[in-house]
Structures are given as structure tokens and as C-alpha cells.
Structure 1
């Protein structure tokens, strides 16, 4: 069932809230030996063991810390771009959830003129407007015609090198299958993002701006309507705009949230498998028990300590599988052939 429209009033916060140790056999630093030559835009992430989760008390669903061992896998070096997604659409004729017509039978009582394809777009008020951080509808709007092709509505066009956005889990999974890949498990995603760093505040280390340099596309200034653009970007940045991590992966933090394959449960870490975990068998969020949700990781250009701090290492996001917005995308992984 089409979900973007009805979730606008109570699920958009999920887009905004929404530690690593390598095994002894693997280098535990930023060594070039951890990098592998990219193959068709993918980077080999070698097998290893790390400590997954966060000690931050504000991330209760990322606890307890637990050891995870993973087999090697290939991962896209950056988020899937509009250019890449366009090739998928051209080859298959696929329509994203945001582009599909809405069946009035799914939304009884809602006027037909309101049932228009579209998606959620970050639309902050003017800088002089007083904003309550308890009300996401002050900066999120459902925009008719917004989709991956038209990220801000019908008068906008997607840029080739930017991450594709307005992508639901359903859309991301369809692309991955077409490409002969899959979505990463949550454990694979965190292991790749940490890139060997142990118990760090951020995926790149302990300082927000090491040597005075921004390491990710996140929000600076007063949220949501006082973006100072100190990192050089307002909104989504082109992929590879920031340095890669020690594994050779770009934008594992900030820019856009990324879908993972796992169903979301806040207590899953209490019973997670220790080797190649694939997540719980189903979804349950006590805040919205009737919705099927998958994990999202990495935060986005809207994250900051003032409001959304889930760009920090080990933190988790979540989203209903057919929901989308202009700060939500994905990347893929592929198993290593035996």
C-alpha cells in the first residue's frame, strides 16, 4: 500500500532521528593495506570482527555492545547516484513508490484531489520564523510530483552525480536485484563505516572537525532554518565530495540516510547472532507497532547535535518500507564469490 501521504504527519521524524574492533589478523588503523582496488565502483571490505553498537545512553536501541564477525563482501564506494538509477529505470521501466498513482481505496475519506503522487521534501521556514523542534511538519512538506527525477517537485531536475533520493526500501531493493547486488545488512554497514576505528564518537574519529576540516555533509547552524553551510554544502552534496574512509568508502556519514536490509527492532542487539547477522525475522517498533520498518544508517545533511545526532558512530535509524524523502537513499553490496 502507498504510504508516503499518510506517514507525513507522524513518521517524518524517522528520517531525522530517525564500536568497531578488527580481528587481530586485520590492521587496526588507517593503513593502505585495508583498501582494495575498486571493481566496477565497488570496494572489497575484508572479513573481520568488530564491536557493534554504541555506549551513548541516548542510543538505547544500539545497545548492548556486542561482538560481530563478518565474511568479506564488496560494497559500493559511494551512494547510488541519479545517473546510476536512471540506467535501471531505462532498462526496466520501473516506477518508484513516489511516482505511482495512489489508489483511493487505500485512503477512504481523503479527497481525491489530495491523492497525488509525491514525496516528503525538506522545506524550512524563513530564518526569522520561530520553530518548535517538536513539530517536524514545520520543515517537512509533502510535495506533489516530488520524486527521484524531480527532488523538489516538478520544476526541479535530478543532478547526475548526486545520490538518488526519494527512494523507499521497496525501490532500493528492486534496484539492487536488477544490479545483481543486495542491500547491506546493518552489521555490514556499520563495520564498513567504522573502517577499523574503535569506540569513536564519529565514524572518522573523536573530533567533529579534525584539523578544522569537515568530514561529512551535515547541518551547521540553527536547525532547521539557520543553515550556515560551513561545510560548503546546503542540501545533498555530490558523491565523493568528502574524503574516503580507511576502507576507501565515501559518504558513510551524513549526506543521505541509507537503507539496510534488516528489519527494525529496538531490542535486537540483545539477541543478535555473532557471525554474519541478518537482523530479526520481522519488524516491531513500539512507537508505531502497525508499521513494517527497516533499518536506516548514516544520518543525512539534516543531522546535527542540536537536533538529529544519529549520524554518530553506532547509532541507528528506521523507516517504513514505502516511505521516502529527499534525504534518503542507499548503496549496495555483493557477496564475494567462493
Structure 2
């Protein structure tokens, strides 16, 4: 396994690892009238997480474990830029990327003339761009005007939680996220079934070609796609593979007694790493096979990037 395929190796997204964490923004949460978007009710009951034959065991994809869930609802799509803008305009919320003054951007998305102030060690496709935030996902020279229906990106865990509070919801946990991704089926590898996507056969927004230098864009999108692009799974959920990684409410942990798991969990605790699900438009089977349902990624909670967003869950009434 190459360095970029190792857990935390940086192929999927880049952790901020800021020297001084920022305090959570002080914001008055207003009731988000009409702000819920297509929540789908899911009955409680027996479900499961993970797989007995994981493709990337070091990520903690296995073993399969049975869980019991309470009834809940999950939005059919990720939170869009338009909805996040409404939240910001209503509350005056300032994201962590705005307060840090920079964020991580995939180098292939940079507009002409963009100034790079650093890059992630070992993953030069992740660069530090001053002024990158949710309004300017690739830095000051970029705009959101033509992608308001795309997932909001450049949002940290605190930003996602603040929006969730605004609409009266919360982030889903891993078990809830996986149940929705399975769409009512137990043994699916992907939200649409078990058929592998290829550079020619398209099911979702992932990379086609040779990463990171060539993207043939067969799926129609070099970066993010609209939140309701592609066919939803049998449960009605859009883009649970690819497009953007999604924050969850769970801390990142590996359920194993192996030496690797103990060391990795110690690191995760030290850095307060959070679990994300779903993969992104940067995933490809040749180097980052993490657009499967059981795939997982860890980021520090203050991180934000070009390929990280979220969707909202709700407790049953």
C-alpha cells in the first residue's frame, strides 16, 4: 500500500493541523423556516455497520457489526451552497476557514493566477490558498455564482454542526449514514448495487483517468456536481458515493485489537479526529478506493477542503 493509500495519508483530503485551534463561533441560532430539504424518514430497527471482508482493513472498515437504530430522518442530498448562504445571511455566522484566513484546495481546481502559499507534505495536489472559504472555494479569484445547487464545501465540523442546529437537525452517525446508503438492501457495495464504476461506466462523481494529472471528465464534472446529480439510490438518497466527503457525528476509531489499531486510535484521540463517509470527486480505484459504502476517512475537526461537505439528520418526531 502506497503512502497516499494509508489511513490519514492525505489522498482523500487534507487535515488543517492548525497550531492554535479557534474557539467555536458565537452565533445566535435562528429558526430556519423552510430550511429543511427533502428529509426521508427511516424506521428504527436492526441494521449493521462495516463489512467482514473489507477492502481497506487498516481504515477500520470491518468487521461487520450489528446495531439497533432508533427511527430518524436523513436529507436526500447534501447541504447546498444556496442553503448555507441563507444560514450565513440569517445568523451572521463566520466559518472557521474565514477566521483562519486560508484553506486546503485541490490544485487542479485553481483558477489562473491563483497564489499558492504552501502545500501538504507528500500530497502536492493539496495546496494552501489564502482567502479560500465557502464563498470562494478555490480562493479569492473563484466564485459560487454558477454552482449554488452544488454541495457547500470548505466547511469544518463546527460549521456543519452550526448549520444543523439552525435547521433543527444534527449530523448522522456512521450507522445511520450506512443504512441510508444501502437504500434498503443489506449487502450492497455501492449505493446503486455491486457493479464497479469504471472510467467509462458512470454511476457517481469520482475521478476518471490518471490521478492527479489527467481527468477525462466522462461524468461531466471536474470538481463538485450538483447535490441532486446522478440517479438516487433505492432509498431516495443522492450522491452517497463521490462528490463530497460528509462529516458525521462520530469520532474516528478502528474497532480492532491489532497493534496498528491501537496506534492509529491513539493518534486519532490526540488529534481529535472525526469520521467522514462517502468519498469524493477525487476518488479513483487506482489510488483511493473510498467511494464504497463502508469506506471511511478521518480529518481533524477544524479542517476544511474542496471536497468536504455534509448532510443533515433529524430525530424522529
**TM-score normalised per structure 1:** 0.74
In structure 2, distance between residues paired with 1:327 and 1:259? 11
Does 2:304 align with 1:320? no
Verify the 8 A CA contact 2:172 2:313 in the aligned structure 1: yes
In structure 2, distance between residues paired with 1:17 and 1:303? 14
Residue of structure 1 equivalent to 2:129: 143
Alpha-carbon distance, 1:63 to partner: 1.5
Unaligned runs of 5+ in 1: 1-9, 19-38, 103-116, 127-133, 271-283
In structure 1, distance between residues paired with 2:125 and 2:66? 39
Residue of structure 1 equivalent to 2:46: 49
Q: 1:286 to 1:57 in 2, by over 3 A?
A: farther
Alpha-carbon distance, 1:267 to partner: 2.1
In structure 1, distance between residues paired with 2:285 and 2:168? 37
Which secondary structure does the structure 2 equivalent of 1:50 belong to? strand
Deviations 1:46-85 (A, max 9, x none): 2232332022252341211111221221111100000000
Deviations 1:218-255 (A, max 9, x none): 01110111111111211100111111111111111100
In structure 2, distance between residues paired with 1:226 and 1:318? 26
Alpha-carbon distance, 1:285 to partner: 3.3
Does 2:143 align with 1:157? yes
Does 2:301 align with 1:332? no
Verify the 8 A CA contact 1:15 1:318 in the aligned structure 2: no
Residue of structure 2 equivalent to 1:29: none
Verify the 8 A CA contact 2:37 2:76 in the aligned structure 1: no
In structure 2, distance between residues paired with 1:121 and 1:330? 17
Verify the 8 A CA contact 1:15 1:319 in the aligned structure 2: no
In structure 2, distance between residues paired with 1:324 and 1:193? 23
Residue of structure 2 equivalent to 1:293: 273
Verify the 8 A CA contact 1:124 1:140 in the aligned structure 2: no
Residue of structure 2 equivalent to 1:274: none
**TM-score normalised per structure 2:** 0.79
Which secondary structure does the structure 2 equivalent of 1:193 belong to? helix
Verify the 8 A CA contact 2:109 2:138 in the aligned structure 1: no
* CA RMSD, 1 decimal: 2.8
In structure 2, distance between residues paired with 1:72 and 1:268? 28
In structure 2, distance between residues paired with 1:12 and 1:146? 22
Residue of structure 2 equivalent to 1:244: 232
In structure 2, distance between residues paired with 1:138 and 1:290? 25
Query: Alignment length, in residue pairs?
Result: 273
Q: 1:98 to 1:40 in 2, by over 3 A?
A: closer
Alpha-carbon distance, 1:328 to partner: 0.1
In structure 2, distance between residues paired with 1:93 and 1:17? 27
Alpha-carbon distance, 1:202 to partner: 2.1
- Give the alignment partner of residue 120 of structure 1, picking from 99, 104, 110: 104
Residue of structure 1 equivalent to 2:193: 205
Residue of structure 1 equivalent to 2:181: 193
1:124-135 equivalences under 5 Å are 124=108
